[in-house]
Amino acid sequence: MNKSGILVVISGFSGAGKGTLVRKLMEKYDNYSLSISMTTRKPRDGEENGVHYFFVDHRKFEQTIAEDGLLEYASYLGNYYGTPKEYVEKQIAEGKDVILEIEVQGALQIKKKFPNTLLLFVTPPSGEELYNRLTSRNTETNEQIMGRISRASEEVEWIPKYDYLVINDKIEECVESLHNIILSAHNAPIRQQELIERLKNELDSLSKGE
């Protein structure tokens, strides 16, 4: 059996419920570790360093880039966001499946560098349901909501680049689906190379009568 963990990237439309899904996966199963992003943006009320983000200044962030310490990074509204490499690699080596909640561009950047990464995309059952979830939050102007819808209509084009698309209708069912997909992904030959190599050697020896 392959004992390494998998890097699991979860993306999805704003309003798809990614945060809740990730929290429930972490609570329900013990094979997951959560990757925490690094950012230069200031903490909002209630956000804690090392829990929601690693909050650093521009100098520290650029130093981490220079040291090749990030799996991916992007700049958004004048702030950097990135994924520290060390934590992810350590957890994966220990057999943990590391969950990383990031947006489409970062996800594809990681998949390109690490084809072993599992890309999951989460969507509400329909566009209308997405709109309803965004408006029922009552925290944003109509303009902000339309901005999110417009972004979703761009992101939808990238779904075929993902390994799996999962509908978040009933949250518990969605958590189960995500968990099953991640378990199944361990069986892809790309993640079973040690086993394949071992079988190859064993069958080779046997067929030579060794």
Question: What is the C-alpha to C-alpha distance for residues 190 and 188, in angstroms, rounded to an integer?
Answer: 5
Phi and psi of 83, rounded to 5°?
A: -115, 110
Q: Which of 149, 168, 173, 175 binds a second copy (CB under 8 A)?
A: 149
Question: What is the C-alpha to C-alpha distance for residues 15 and 107, in angstroms, rounded to an integer?
Answer: 18
Q: Which is nearer to a second copy, 29 or 131 (CB)?
A: 131
First to last CA, the chain: 24
Residues 159-198 interacting with a second copy (rule: CB under 8 A): 159-160, 162-167, 177, 180-181, 183-185, 187-190, 192, 195-196, 198
In the complex, what is the shortest distance from the CB of residue 154 to a second copy, in angstroms, rounded to a whole number?
Answer: 9
Question: What is the C-alpha to C-alpha distance for residues 8 and 184, in angstroms, rounded to an integer?
Answer: 12
Q: Which is nearer to a second copy, 75 or 201 (CB)?
A: 201
Phi and psi of 191, rounded to 5°?
A: -105, 10
Stretch that binds a second copy, among 66-74, 78-86, 89-97, 147-155 (CB under 8 A): 147-155
In the complex, what is the shortest distance from the CB of residue 177 to a second copy, in angstroms, rounded to a whole number?
Answer: 7
Question: What is the C-alpha to C-alpha distance for residues 100 and 202, in angstroms, rounded to an integer?
Answer: 37
- Does residue 150 touch a second copy according to CB under 8 A? yes
Q: Which is nearer to a second copy, 41 or 191 (CB)?
A: 191
Question: What is the C-alpha to C-alpha distance for residues 62 and 51, in angstroms, rounded to an integer?
Answer: 21
Q: Which is nearer to a second copy, 43 or 147 (CB)?
A: 147
In the complex, what is the shortest distance from the CB of residue 108 to a second copy, in angstroms, rounded to a whole number?
Answer: 14
The 10 Å CB-count burial string (b at 16+, else e) for 81-94 is: bbbbbebbeebbee
Binding site for a second copy (CB under 8 A): 1, 121, 123, 126-128, 130-131, 146, 149-150, 152-153, 156-157, 159-160, 162-167, 177, 180-181, 183-185, 187-190, 192, 195-196, 198-207, 209
